[in-house]
Structures are given as C-alpha cells and as structure tokens.
Structure 1
C-alpha cells in the first residue's frame, strides 16, 4: 500500500535489468502503463511482480487475462506475452472453433460444466472488448450462436448417443431429434438412423478474431488498473522467437509456457513432456455466388466423422485430418497436402450433408495439436510447476499449460484460471492433482 499521505499515482514499473536490452529490435505491439519514463519504486511500495507468458494462443491469453484480473488489489504487476507469430498466429488461430462440453459420443466431459462456464466467461469479456455482441452481420461475427447437430451414422453410435443424451448441462442442453425435426433445422441433411442429437446452445467461434478480442480485453484491464491511484498493471506483447528458457530466468518471477506443440522443442523440456504431436488440416469451402439455395442463416453446424463449421450462409470449414507425430508447424498447406485432406474429408462430410458437393474449395489451413495422455478422467491438459521437471535451481518459477489437444477452446478458460491462481500464490496445490499427475508419466519421444 502507498504511504497514507500520498495522493499521487504510482511511479511506472522499473525496467528489467537485462531482457529489454536484448530485445531492443523486437516488435512491441502493445504497452499499457501509467507512464512511459521508468523510475525506481517509491518508498513503501512492494517490488513489482513480473510474469512472462510464452505463447499468444488460447492458453497464453487466458493465463495473461487471469494474471491481470486475479493479481491483488493495490499491486504492481507486469505481464509480458511472447509469440513470434503474434496473437493467434499458431494452432489456436486456425482451429475449427466449435465449442461445447461433450465428447463425440455426447457424453459430458469430466468437469465439463466448469470448463464450459470459464470459457463462456472469457468469451463474454472478449465480446465486450470487441463490441460485437449485437452484430447481425456474419462477416463481423465473433461468435455464431446457432448450435451444433450430431447425426450418428451407425447403430452402435446411435445407441450410445441416445443413452448419453439423457444427462446434460442445463447451460448447454441436449435434445434428441428425429429426422424430420433435424431436416427442418438443416434442409438436405442426411439422417440415416432417424436420430440426431442437437446442442442448441453450442457455439461456433471465429478463433482468430476471438483471440484478438481477448488480447484487447487484457489491454483494457491493464489500462483501467493503471488509471487507479493505488495499483498499476502493464501488459505487453513481444514478437520474439524463443530459443530457450534461460533468457527469461533472471528477469521474471514466473514464466508460464503455453506453446502447445512447440513446448517440447525447448531444450530444457526435450523428452520431458508426455505429449504427442498431431497435425490437423482444415479445408474451407464457399458456395458459388450464383447458387440460389444458401445454407440457412440459423442452421447449426454439424458434427460427424468430419465436422462442418458454418460461418454464414456461404462459408464452411470442414475438418479435420490427424497426422500423428508430425513436426510440421507451418500453418500453410501445400497443394498436395490440401488435395489429400479434401479427399479424406469430403466423403465423410457428404455422408451427412450431401449438398457439400456444390461448394467450391477455397483454401486449407493447418496446425499442430499437442495431445495429452489418456487418463481415467479423459485426455486432460497438463498443468503445474516445471522446476523439478527442468531440474535446475532458479529464482524464477517455470509453469506449464499444455496438452489442450483438440479441446483448446473448451479447456483454456479453466486451465488459465487455475494456473494464474497457482502462479500468484506460488502454490501448485491450487491446481487439482488430476491436472498435475502427468509428471509421473513417462515422456513421449
């Protein structure tokens, strides 16, 4: 707390002794602080806390948001995000964007209600920052609220879906529809078994736009706090390649690694994380402009052996392929890779939506998923302190948010919140043991 007689705003955070000098040529995209000329902390003020978040995807921006929001009142905090590709430039930014708390068999995931709630809270914050909550134009949408439909294609899958649909969240309910009801939602839908499970409150997110909005929300939190006379927060983005963790250890209280599939490439973590990489390709299609029949403006997206995420009446993304053990992090897709992907995806999509044959291929995009090991509670994110894993003594605490796999959009809210609490309190026990037990699992090689 400041001295009782002080009425002046706090002095700006003092500079890091080494790191900013070594990053003099980096691109500083965003800086939020109360003043620009650095000066030492005034007498009576606590030393500022400095956090580095490596990665500006779902996990990284969730951690940054919660560090800014959960840091104590009357505190001085700096959160620096590092990502050489910028906000949403990695796998998060090319994801399909379908959001719901269920497995492909419509079973509620472990702690699915908490994951869903925390993701929805972040989405609301992003919408507020983006100021698009009331937009009706599809090309401006951050979120398409039209639900998701799941028609099974085998008798076994139908039986499992029907059983699992009996238990659901009120905040993301499930409805069992016959073929007539399903086809009223999606004209031309093929419902081979007279059964489909409908998630009316499930969402389709524009991932890149959402991440940009969440980044803006973080900026707003820092700006609002720094306008106070009793606290100060900085939020910065650096477009900087990360070679190793040593470059951060002397300048930060904690470093949170949110690099997805790239985490294992850091020399300190090579062969130490039980993660498998999987490259996924998503194909984008558009309906020709002279087509009379458009996809319904309120028709849901479709989940089947392939998923179809519709963004308006004329655009759809179809995914995804699974190329295990890939180390190709390039988001661009070659003509050959795109052709192979569409040959795999189109028959699966046509099995439930034959009309996809009228749509024209536009482009493909790809990203690497970091897949966690399977546990009794499902495939869960890997959270926790890494100091023992790295095996080095340091005044800086290293933390991991990884292994979000194909559910990064669902998992990122709660994973970021739990990690931020643990980082701020310097207590890994703030994280449930189900997310930290991965340390006993042999690393993938």
Structure 2
C-alpha cells in the first residue's frame, strides 16, 4: 500500500503506483493533520513538505491550541549534545545529531532571510536574540562515577561532537571560579544551546518559506495552515484527513482513544530564569559554555541564564505558568546544585520561572526510546484515515526530533511502517 487508503494504490495491472502517479490521479489534495506544534510536530511538517514529490498536492493542517511552541518544547532548556548523563553516546546518536544540526541550520537560514526582508519593510516576525548559541557545553566531574565515565568514554565520541578532557585550569579559563573538585571536566566545544521557542518559530517560518518557494517554482500544490485549536477526540478528524500524525507529547494520553493505552510516564519540570543585576557581581564570560551538572545552566548571555530542572513525576499539570510556591520550591532545590559547580550564581537574581509537562518513554535495553508507528490498531479496525504517533521524546525531544520527524514523514508518505526501526515500534507489542 502506498500513501493513503482513500486513494487506490493499484493500477489496472495490479502493480503498485508511485506517489507521483497517485497525486496526478487524485481529484483533490491529500490532506494531513499534524497535532502539536512543538519539536516533533514542526519536524514532521517540514519533512512532509520537503520529502513529498514536488507535484503532489499536499495540504497540512498544524493543530496547537496555544500556537507555535506552546507546550513543553517551547520551555525546553535547549542544551543539545549526543551523550547521555553517563557520558555515553545515545542510541543512534550520529544520525540524530546530524539531522538535528540540519534543522537548526534551516531555521537559522529562515531567520536570516527574514531579517534581509525587513530592509524592504516586510519584516513579519520578531526574532530578537539568538536561535543557536555556539559556545559548547562543559561538565565538571563532581564525583568518582562521573570521573570514571569521562575517562572511559572520551575515546568513543563522535568526530562531529568531540569530547575533550580538560583540567581545572583550562575549565576555569572558560568559566572563571568554576568549581572542579576532581580537577577534570568534560568539554564538548561543538555542543550548542538552542533558544527553543525562537527555534520552533524559525522552523515554522522555514516551512512557510518552503511552501512559497515551491509555489514560485510552479509547484503550488503544497499548503501549510496553523490552526490554534485543540483536538479533544481523534474522531473529530475522521473523514477530514488522509493521515493524522499525533505529536502531542504528554497530552496524547488525554485523547480518549489513547488514554491509558500508551506506555508513557509524565513528569513536570520547572526551569528558573536568573539575571545578573547591572554592576553587581562578575559577568558570565561571553565565550563561556553552558554547564551540565546535577542542575544544568543554559547560558543566554552575560547577564541571563536558565537553570533546570525539577522532576515531578506523575504530574498532570501541563500549564507553563508557575505559582510562587512552585517557584520557591524550585529555587530551594536547584540553586544549591547549581552553586556547587558555579558559586557565582548566588549573586544572580530570580527573574521568573516556566514549566513543561514531559512525556517520558518506557525503559528499553537501548535506553529510554521514543514511541513511533501507526496507531490504527489501537483505535478501530474500520478507519479510513491513517493515524500515526510520534511521542515520548521526554527530556531529549530536541535531540531526537530531527531524525524521528524525518522517519515519520517517510512512513506517512510511503504508508510503510517497516522503515521505522523496530526498537521504536516494539512498544505496540508490549502493551
């Protein structure tokens, strides 16, 4: 079977036709709904537009009740590197790292072109500040376990994101007064800090630009529409679309058709925004990397950084708003951890807090892997629409979203789940 059930995939000879021929035979555009406008949803939308045949008429509706980056993705700390907390390369680390860097570059190019357009008075987006901050990420060895992991794994790192073992003096040249108790630190100069909200907005802009470019080249059959509305039940969409891709994170379990049927664990995380008052304390060095430790520090500039995050398991609170009590508890939990490696943070002041509800995947022999695949077998046997799930990206959504969004788009276009690695679809066999 190719593409969508609503269009016959067979020629008169009984052989499979190509997606291009299917598109020419169709009297209407193929319609796809993507639920969720975070990392996963935007990656799927981009790759659907990019990988579908040029002359295929494809209309994509992107649903999100808040808008672009309104969920957990938009409040992510944005520290991007291909290694686990144990300093080991994550599953499919090279592929995920490569595809994520591609999307970051695409988003930055979209912002750059928008800034050029502003000279003609056509500036339509506010992209103040950075999308990607390239200063590397530093992790001091704070205990013997981390120290041993640093030494054991530094030789097996990716060439495109190398690991350097540096001593206390070298670490303090990067971040003055950094506490390095075991005299060694783990430094990834190619790792980056992403401004998650600006990145998602920029990737959406890239999708819009791609539609315009294709139309200007004579391929005007691609459309992308953002719908700021929630989908309470999947059956609302039945008959409207040929394929629905569910990228709702923790909210996927709120759909009545999927409630209690996904092996996801929810976890709410609070992130603190701290600022250094003018003329008080020492500026964070402009060349200084972000820091990983028991609490991470995502540096935004000389006077601004984020500290995170807390872990409240089994929470159902998906609001990004943080109460004064919740913020106070987060400060009490995170500041001692952060000051243990960067004592200077005690001179910074609280500027706000935000939170997100993460959908954490089940543990597997390969680690905590996201959930992918066709979800029709979870719903009903008599569905005209193809439903697909991309969920459970957990705290590594930024790292996984590029490659998994590409895989999902390929599976949707070809209507072939077999192209997805079995490690990502095995959850359906273990429900």
TM-score between both structures, scaled by the size of structure 2: 0.90
Deviation, 1:440, is 2.1
Q: In structure 1, what is the Cα distance between the partners aligned to 2:93 and 2:187?
A: 17
1:209 aligns with 2:209: no
The 5 A counterparts of 1:17-416 are 47-131=28-112, 140-291=129-280, 293-416=282-405
Shift of 1:45: 5.8
Distance (Å, rounded) in 1 between the aligned partners of 2:267 and 2:105: 30
Call closer, same or farther: CA 1:288–1:43 in 2, change over 3 Å: closer
Query: What are structure 1's unaligned runs of at least 5 residues?
Result: 1-41
**Pairwise CA distance, 1:197:** 0.5
The CA deviation string for residues 363-414 of structure 1, in whole angstroms up to 9 with x for no partner, is 0100001000111111111000000011342110000000000000000001
- CA pair 263-45 structure 1, distance change in 2 beyond 3 A: closer
Kindly indicate whether the alpha-carbon contact (under 8 Å) linking 1:132 and 1:140 is maintained by their aligned counterparts in 2.
no
Cα deviation code 1:49-82 (max 9, x no counterpart) = 1100000000000000000001012111101100
Write the mapping of 1:426-441 to structure 2, written as runs, cut at 5 A. Answer: 426-441=415-430
Return the alpha-carbon distance in structure 2 between the equivalents of residues 322 and 57 of structure 1.
20
CA-to-partner distance for each residue in 1:229-265, whole Å, 9 max, x for gaps? 3551000000011110011110111000000000001
Deviation at residue 214 of structure 1 after TM alignment: 0.2
Aligned-pair CA distance for 1:228 = 3.2
Q: SS state of the match for residue 62, structure 1?
A: helix
Taking structure 1 as reference, are residues 70 and 46 closer, same or farther at Cα in structure 2, changes over 3 Å only? farther
* Aligned-pair CA distance for 1:43: 8.8
CA RMSD of aligned residues (A): 1.9
- Distance in 1, Cα, partners of 2:304 & 2:385: 47
Residues 76 and 310 of structure 1, relative CA distance in 2, 3 Å threshold: same
Q: Structure 2 CA distance, aligned partners of 1:323 and 1:65? A: 32
Unaligned runs of 5+ in 2: 1-22, 117-126
Contact 1:55 1:81 in 2 (8 A): yes
1:134 positional shift: 11
Cα offsets for 1:119-148 (capped at 9, x unmatched): 01111110011118999xx96211100000
Q: How many residue pairs end up in the alignment?
A: 400
Once structures 1 and 2 are overlaid, which stretch shifts more, 156-165 or 414-423?
156-165
Distance in 2 between residues matched to 1:90 and 1:223, nearest whole Å:
27
Label 1:70 to 1:269 Cα distance change in 2 as closer, same or farther (>3 A). Answer: same
Instruction: Report the more deviating stretch, 375-384 or 287-296.
Output: 287-296
Question: Structure 2 vs 1, CA of residues 203 and 133 (structure 1 numbering), >3 Å: closer, same or farther?
Answer: farther
Distance 1:153 1:132 in 2: 43
